[in-house]
Amino acid sequence: MMECLLCLILQLLSLRKAAAQTYTHTTYARQLNTITPSQPTLLGTIETKTVSECGQICHYSSTCSSFLFNGTHCVTFEGTMYFDEGGQREEYFILSNRLVHSDISGTFAAECTSHGYLYDPLVPLCYKVNDTGLAKADAMASCEQSNGHLLRINTYRKQLLVESLNLQATGSISKYRIDGEKNSNGIWTFSDGRKITTFYWYPGEPRDNLKSIALRVTYEGKWDDVKETRPHGFICERTFSLIT
């Protein structure tokens, strides 16, 4: 039996009651080329487009412990079976772990502060302002050391947060780097390749035809285009990781 050839991790927020703030993390393991079939209890069949949608259906069911996605339909089971893949479009997953956190905000805040970050529950965001002047590549590497990346302002709430920080000039630092770069085609993207669709430039910016983005202190949180090689402060954003 070959288990866990491929692990599909679905991190899903399940706010069953607003007061409870329950977070449920479900991990599935894919099973292929197995023997000795058994007969789990069939819970239901529903048309779905992706294996992720099928995983969500199982996630939100209190009795589902495995599911089969055949490319067009999701079949959920109570119990598991040994499964020999009958076709390329059939994928069978068993629930390998279900972890429940009773307090989302408290869990996020604890993770942030334990790594030297601040937590804002309204965004929500785990962030850290660094007033050490670094070039862009070094700033990115510094963020990555704590499972983070340069702050990606991809929501209006994040922009409102940086505007509320009242960033101050410290020594030679008058600008703070955030994520964003202009490629050879003149298109602005985040470092993960996604295109930036909403911009918060200070009036008159960008005006220097430079390739990265920072928040100039005198711009009160609005964007400025800056050189990748100049030493600026930077803001890191930490990716939440609630798997234990």
pLDDT of residue 84: 57
pLDDT of residue 105: 74
Instruction: Return the bridge partners of 28, or none.
Output: 8, 95
DSSP string, 44-81: EEEE-SSHHHHHHHHHT-SS--EEEE-SSEEEEEES--
Q: Residues 85-143: pLDDT tens digits?
A: 545 567 888 888 877 666 667 778 888 898 899 999 888 899 999 999 999 999 999 99
Contact between residue 229 and residue 181 where contact means Cβ atoms under 8 Å apart:
no
For residue 14, what pLDDT band results from cuts at 50, 70 and 90?
very low
pTM beyond 0.75: no
Q: Residues 55-69: pLDDT tens digits?
A: 989 988 888 988 989
Alpha-carbon distance of 199 to 90, in angstroms, equals: 42
3-state DSSP assignment of residue 104: helix
pLDDT higher than threshold 60 for residue 34? no
pLDDT higher than threshold 90 for residue 234? yes
pLDDT of residue 244: 42
pLDDT higher than threshold 70 for residue 218? yes
Q: Residues 155-175: pLDDT tens digits?
A: 999 999 999 998 888 888 999
67: number of Cβ within 10 Å: 26
Among candidate residues 191, 106, 113, the one with its CA nearest the CA of residue 154: 191
pLDDT of residue 98: 78
Percent of the chain with pLDDT over 70: 80
Among candidate residues 236, 232, 116, the one with its CA nearest the CA of residue 170: 232
pLDDT higher than threshold 90 for residue 71? no
Q: Report CA Rg, the chain.
A: 23
